[in-house]
């Protein structure tokens, strides 16, 4: 089950398909995040970066490379090895007026900090009726496909989409990475920021002067007429490859990148589904009680008469993430998306 080589994500800054802007430079997603963190730290002395190995090492994926050297150990903190401690102290720092950007080293290691996220980070603003704000960003490298050992390749975003009081977002190209991390940091809401680690080294165009306005909205990456296909972060290149392959068979797929997973910006999806009548939702997260089920249920409820077929899902199976030599069987890929397109068109 080899995946055909996928083209770089053809998305551009403002979400309009088409050629890259003249002064956009091909930039890796990791580099774009580093530039975005740096821009936020330059702008606001209250912005801190904290986590395991984020300072001297520059992070296990080098996303925070050079920040401690430039901003000092008092703003880029290598923390003791304890995720509840990292999130819990970030909450306290935020109460003091700081804007901490906490890093969870890999998706599977967010769970020791889950209690502080759901019981304090997500609830303090409501608990105090707005007197306490939680401008905290929790960065989590997530998703599979990197041949790693257990707990290093999971997609836990559905858990956080079920928690009221926090925003959940995911970037899928360098431009979004650069602008979304800054928007997350400047937001007074707590934001869980999912980074598709498999794509950290993919280059896509970034024009730092493009000022795209809010990047937390859904965006049509590629217009189409027959089937609407929706995803975010890690799976976006798969969708573009599927659209290319489908075009060869004369089928036009409309590709939408959600960017925000909670609160979902469903209007562009509904508008598209009302045109195409068919929707496929693609995520790496397991199927059961997940964000993919929520999208299917809400689109069906709000666009029932437009649907020519049920919303189909290409999602992880309801299994613990498999050993890495089998992960390509588990992950959504080109063939699975094309198969779903076939089936949704068969109704």
Partner 1 sequence: MVNQQWIDSLATARGVKERGVTGAGATPAPTSAPSPAQVIAGLKATSGGEDLIQLLTPEGEFTPHPDYPLDLHPDRFPELLKGLYRDMVLVRRFDREGNALQRQGQLSIWVPLLGQEAAQIGAGRAMLPQDMAFPSYREHGVAWCRGIDPTELLGVFRGTEHTGWDPREKGFGGYCIVIGNQVINATGYAMGQRLDGKVGQGAQAEATIAFFGDGATSQGDVHEAMVFAAAYDSPVVFYCQNNQWAISEPVERQSRIPLFNRSRGYGFPGMRVDGNDVLACLAVTQWALDECRSGNGPVLIEAFTYRMDAHTTSDDPTRYRQADEAQAWKLLDPIERVKVHLARTGMADSAFFDEIDAEADELAARFRAHCVAMTVPPPERMFSHIYSEPNHQIDRQRAEFLAYLDGFEDESGDLA
Q: Is residue 286 within 8 Å of 332, Cβ to Cβ?
A: no
DSSP string, 76-116: EEEPPS-HHHHHHHHHHHHHTT-EEEEE-SSGGGSGGGHHH
Shortest separation between residue 247's beta carbon and ligand TPP, angstroms: 42
CA angle, 170 then 333 then 197, to 5°: 35
Q: Does 104 bind a second copy (CB under 8 A)?
A: no
Tokens of 136: 């905290």
User: Shortest CA distance to 237 belongs to which of 27, 31, 66, 10?
Assistant: 10
With respect to partner 1, which residue has the nearer C-beta, 35 or 340? 340
Rounded to whole angstroms, the Cα distance separating 15 from 118 reads 32
Q: Is residue 48 within 8 Å of 76, Cβ to Cβ?
A: yes
Q: Which of 27, 68, 89, 105 binds ligand TPP (CB under 6 A)?
A: 105
Q: Which of residues 117-176 bind partner 1 (CB under 8 A)?
A: 119-120, 124-135, 147-152, 164-165, 167
Which partner from the list partner 1, a second copy, ligand TPP, none does 96 bind, CB cut-off 5 to 8 Å by kind? partner 1
Q: Does 133 bind a second copy (CB under 8 A)?
A: no
With respect to a second copy, which residue has the nearer C-beta, 217 or 300? 300
The helix (H) or strand (E) run that includes residue 312 is strand 312-316
Catalytic, 16? Answer no
Q: Which of 112, 212, 223, 322 binds ligand TPP (CB under 6 A)?
A: 112
Q: Are strands 167-170 and 191-196 parallel, antiparallel or unpaired?
A: parallel
Give the binding range for a second copy (CB under 8 A) out of 38-46, 53-61, 174-182, 307-315: 307-315
Rounded to whole angstroms, the Cα distance separating 42 from 39 reads 5
Total residues contacting partner 1 by CB under 8 A comes to: 83
With respect to ligand TPP, which residue has the nearer C-beta, 81 or 317? 81
Q: Does 70 bind partner 1 (CB under 8 A)?
A: no
Q: Which of 287, 328, 335, 339 binds a second copy (CB under 8 A)?
A: 287
With respect to a second copy, which residue has the nearer C-beta, 67 or 312? 312
What are the residues whose beta carbons fall under 8 Å from the beta carbon of 201, sequence distance 6 or more? 28, 29, 30
Q: Which of 28, 38, 48, 52 binds ligand TPP (CB under 6 A)?
A: 52
Q: Does 319 bind a second copy (CB under 8 A)?
A: yes
With respect to partner 1, which residue has the nearer C-beta, 208 or 300? 300
Exactly one of 16, 152, 211, 240 is catalytic; name it. 152
Radius of gyration, CA atoms only, the chain: 20
Which partner from the list partner 1, a second copy, ligand TPP, none does 80 bind, CB cut-off 5 to 8 Å by kind? partner 1
- DSSP assignment letter at 54: -
Rounded to whole angstroms, the Cα distance separating 242 from 190 reads 34
3-state secondary structure of 60: coil
Q: Which residues are catalytic?
A: 152
Q: Residue numbers of the site for ligand TPP (CB under 6 A)?
A: 52, 81, 83, 105, 109, 112
């Amino acid at each position: 089950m080899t995946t055909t080589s996928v083209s770089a994500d053809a998305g551009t800054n403002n979400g309009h398909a088409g050629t890259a802007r003249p002064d956009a430079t091909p930039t890796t997603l990791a580099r774009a995040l580093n530039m975005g963190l740096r821009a936020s730290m330059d702008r606001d002395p209250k912005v801190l970066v904290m986590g395991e190995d984020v300072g001297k090492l520059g992070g296990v994926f080098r996303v925070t490379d050079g920040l401690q050297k430039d901003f000092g150990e008092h703003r880029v903190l290598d923390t003791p090895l304890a995720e509840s401690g990292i999130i819990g102290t970030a909450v306290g720092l935020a109460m003091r007026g700081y804007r901490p950007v906490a890093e969870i080293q890999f998706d599977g290691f967010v769970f020791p900090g889950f209690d502080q996220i759901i019981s304090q980070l997500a609830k303090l603003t409501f608990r105090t009726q707005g007197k306490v704000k939680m401008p905290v960003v929790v960065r989590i490298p997530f998703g599979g496909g990197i041949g790693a050992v257990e707990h290093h390749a999971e997609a836990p975003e559905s858990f956080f989409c079920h928690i009221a009081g926090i925003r959940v977002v995911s970037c899928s190209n360098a431009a979004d990475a650069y602008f979304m991390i800054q928007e997350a940091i400047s937001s007074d809401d707590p934001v869980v920021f999912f980074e598709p680690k498999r794509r950290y080294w993919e280059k896509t165009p970034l024009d730092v002067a493009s000022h795209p306005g809010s990047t937390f909205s859904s965006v049509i990456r590629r217009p189409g007429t027959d089937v609407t296909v929706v995803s975010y972060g890690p799976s976006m290149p798969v969708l573009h490859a599927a659209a290319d392959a489908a075009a060869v068979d004369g089928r036009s797929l409309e590709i939408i990148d959600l960017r925000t997973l909670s609160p979902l910006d469903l209007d562009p999806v509904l508008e598209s589904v009302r045109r195409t009548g068919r929707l496929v939702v693609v995520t790496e997260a397991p199927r059961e009680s997940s964000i993919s089920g929520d999208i299917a249920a809400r689109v069906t409820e709000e666009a029932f008469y437009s649907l020519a077929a049920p919303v189909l899902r290409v999602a992880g199976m309801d299994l613990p993430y498999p050993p890495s030599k089998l992960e390509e069987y588990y992950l959504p890929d080109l063939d699975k998306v094309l198969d779903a397109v076939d089936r949704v068109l068969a109704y």
